[in-house]
Amino acid sequence: MSVKAMKSGAVEFLTKPFRDQDLLDAIHQALDRDRAARQHQSELAGLRKRYESLTAREREVMGLVVRGMLNKQIAFDLGTSEVTVKIQRGNVMRKMEAESLAELVRMAAKLELPPGRRG
C-alpha cells in the first residue's frame, strides 16, 4: 500500500500510531515541494513568454547560437549578413533577459528547444 501511495504522489506514508510531529513534518515537506514546483512552473512560464516574444528569425538565430555557432557561420547558414546576425543575436539576448551565452543555453535547455538547423 505504501508503494502505491508513493507512486501516486504521496510525500510520506505514516503508519499508526504516529507522532504529531511526524504528521507536521510531512505537511511541511509537502508544502515545500509544492512551493518549489509552483516556482519552477512560474519561471518556465516566464521563459516561454519571453521566447514567444522573439520573431521567427530571432528564434532561428537563438537555436543556432545555443548550438555554439559563430555569427559568420549563422549568417552563411541563413543567407544574411554578419551584422544582421549580430543585431538579431543582441535582440535575442535582450528579449530573453540573458546576461551570457551560458545563461541563454540553460534557458534553451529548460525550454527543451530543438537544435537549430545547420545548412
The stretch 13-23 carries a mean pLDDT of 88
Q: Which of 13-17, 26-30, 97-101 has the lowest mean pLDDT?
A: 13-17
What is the number of H-type helices and E-type strands within the chain?
6, 0
The stretch 76-87 carries a mean pLDDT of 96
The total number of residues shown for the chain amounts to 119
Say if residues 51 and 109 touch (Cβ distance below 8 Å).
no
The stretch 98-109 carries a mean pLDDT of 95
119 has a pLDDT exceeding 50: no
The model carries a pTM of 0.73
Of the two residues 94 and 116, the one the predictor is more confident about is 94
Q: Measure the CA–CA gap between 84 and 62, rounded to whole angstroms.
A: 13
